[in-house]
């Protein structure tokens, strides 16, 4: 976001121009695409902590190179060598399951920290998690696209379209619907928090019935979306099979 150069007074806010969401695309400083354009990455990949120079974007460029592996290359292998893909897809599933379109991997591609340890893979950490569960115009509880992404980022679409990664995504939705969104524990937690807030005199606090209703509808929506892809394992025929492959 590029903000106006103004003094903010009286509670008003500065105007701004949304120049670019965070993407997994490559950006170059030359038409020959021989050198990455460092300045282009600073806005979306601001270095928060580094053991070396803050200008060293090697890990970011390795990530975007993998995400943009040319057709015929080992795209899945390149991504899995650098990215904890299962963790990414589970994070995206959480964001989509609660309707938070204001997140990386969703329509507004922002509000996420990327963490790359020295000897590990890229993982994601959620930040600014407030457009959820019907609040502030969140998506859901029914009718929205669970594969919604920022349309300017073809590399993100590629993640969602890759069968192996897509299966991870569906597994996460199934776990969310059959786990945290099911059973009495969640309702009891909401009731307990409401009781504590009401008892503390924290202004006017709405009871959690609307949240419970939203989650109930959302859970059914997720289960219906996942159900066509659930199949019981079966070996057809009478022949014996033996394999040493774990794939």
**Mean pLDDT for each consecutive 10-residue tract of the chain (247 residues)?**
73 80 96 94 89 91 98 98 98 98 97 94 96 96 98 98 97 97 94 94 89 98 96 80 75
CB 107 within 8 Å of CB 101: yes
Q: What is the pLDDT of residue 203?
A: 80
3-state SS track over 123-151: EEEECCCCCCCCHHHCCCCCCCCCCCCCC
**Total residue length of the chain:** 247
Q: What is the pLDDT of residue 23?
A: 97
Tokens at 166, concatenated = 């897509």
The span from the CA of 38 to the CA of 91, in Å, is: 27
Residue 203, classed as helix, strand or coil, is coil
Which residues share a beta bridge with 123? 115
Distances (CA, A) of 230 to 116, 169, 209: 33, 13, 31
Q: What is the pLDDT of residue 8?
A: 58
DSSP 8-state symbol, 4: P
Q: What is the pLDDT of residue 33?
A: 93
Q: What is the DSSP annotation of 218-245? A: HHHHHHHHHGGG-------SS-------
Q: What is the pLDDT of residue 204?
A: 87
DSSP 8-state symbol, 160: H
Tokens at 122, concatenated = 């890229």
């Amino acid at each position: 976001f590029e903000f106006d150069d103004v003094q903010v007074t009286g509670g008003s806010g500065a105007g701004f121009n949304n120049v670019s969401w965070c993407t997994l695309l490559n950006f170059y400083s030359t038409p020959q695409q021989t050198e990455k354009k460092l300045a282009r990455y600073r806005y979306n990949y601001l270095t928060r902590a580094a053991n070396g120079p803050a200008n060293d974007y090697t890990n970011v460029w390795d990530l975007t190179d993998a995400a943009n592996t040319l057709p015929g290359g080992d795209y899945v292998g390149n991504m899995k060598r650098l990215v904890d893909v299962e963790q990414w897809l589970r994070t995206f599933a959480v964001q989509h399951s609660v309707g938070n379109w204001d997140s990386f991997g969703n329509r507004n591609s922002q509000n996420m920290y990327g963490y790359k340890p020295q000897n590990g893979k890229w993982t994601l950490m959620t930040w600014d998690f407030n457009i959820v569960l019907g609040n502030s115009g969140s998506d859901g509880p029914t009718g929205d696209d669970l594969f919604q992404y920022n349309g300017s980022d073809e590399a993100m679409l590629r993640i969602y379209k890759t069968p192996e990664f897509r299966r991870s995504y569906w597994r996460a939705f199934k776990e969310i619907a059959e786990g945290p969104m099911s059973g009495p524990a969640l309702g009891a937690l909401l009731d307990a928090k409401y009781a504590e807030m009401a008892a503390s005199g924290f202004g006017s606090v709405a009871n959690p019935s609307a949240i419970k209703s939203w989650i109930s509808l959302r859970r059914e929506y997720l289960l219906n979306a996942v159900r066509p892809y659930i199949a019981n394992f079966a070996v057809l025929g009478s022949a014996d099979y033996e394999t040493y492959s774990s794939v």
